A and B are shown apart, each in its own frame.
Chain A
Amino acid sequence: EAQVTQNPRYLITVTGKKLTVTCSQNMNHEYMSWYRQDPGLGLRQIYYSMNVEVTDKGDVPEGYKVSRKEKRNFPLILESPSPNQTSLYFCASRITGYLNEKLFFGSGTQLSVL
């Protein structure tokens, strides 16, 4: 089954404790992206990657890191989480190319930073 898999689904942590949210897709998509979703603010892009070893900042990259060492994986790293990073996080992927706009989303990671 074609899918984007995120882990964990729920995570509660404390301020300053480094964490990684994993994302993996099995569709051989070049493009991958991380979003956070907050009430009243909607979906905001954190980072994106056009292909292996190619990453770039989205609209809200502060406090986050990413890496793209393999095509299928795109982990999101919070080196020193803070309470304002409490949010619902989504990983998404798609193929690149003209008129290929369909984003496939993971099921989300609900993060609480205390």
Chain B
Amino acid sequence: QKEVEQDPGPLSVPEGAIVSLNCTYSNSAFQYFMWYRQYSRKGPELLMYTYSSGNKEDGRFTAQVDKSSKYISLFIRDSQPSDSATYLCAMSARNAGNNRKLIWGLGTSLAVNP
């Protein structure tokens, strides 16, 4: 079993839809949870970062962490064609050393259609 599982999609939604992206994980030591967005032929860029449990909101984006279920989500409200990208979840453990190695999901490909 992989440490982090993420449905690769692809996910196709109409413009304006609410999008839900999810990852599950198995390592209960994970404390740092991140969502990166990767446009085609570009490097990933950090979108949302959450430490431990709870919700975090930034504009149209909301990140949720449920540590009891080992489940994280990213919600995109009023989705736009410019949101079309691959979304990667990543997480690391508090005591992972100086490297704080990130464990990555495989990414979910999202297409928002005008």
Contact = CB atoms under 8 A, between A and B. Distances in A.
A42 B43 contact: no
Interface stretch (B13-21, B65-73, B75-83, B92-100): B92-100
A113 interface: no
B44 A105 contact: yes
A15 B51 CA distance: 44
B43 A4 contact: yes
Given A101-B32, A101-B34, A45 B45 contact: no
B85 interface: no
A108 B105 contact: no
Interface residues of A, number: 21
Interface in A82-114: 90, 92, 96, 99, 101-103, 105-108
B43 A105 contact: yes
B106 interface: yes
A41 B107 CA distance: 10
Contacts of A92: 43
Size band of the B side of the interface?
A: 20 to 34
Chain B facing A: main interface SS = loop
Contacts of B51: 99
B42 interface: yes
B61 interface: no
Given A42-B104, A50-B98, A106 B88 contact: no
Contact of A108 (B32, B42, B107): B42
Interface of A: 4, 40-43, 45, 48, 50, 56, 58, 90, 92, 96, 99, 101-103, 105-108
19 contacts: A41-B106, A42-B104, A45-B101, A48-B99, A50-B98, A50-B99, A56-B99, A58-B101, A90-B43, A101-B32, A101-B34, A101-B46, A101-B49, A101-B92, A102-B49, A103-B46, A103-B102, A107-B42, A108-B42
Interface of B: 32, 34, 36, 41-46, 49, 51, 88, 92, 98-102, 104-107
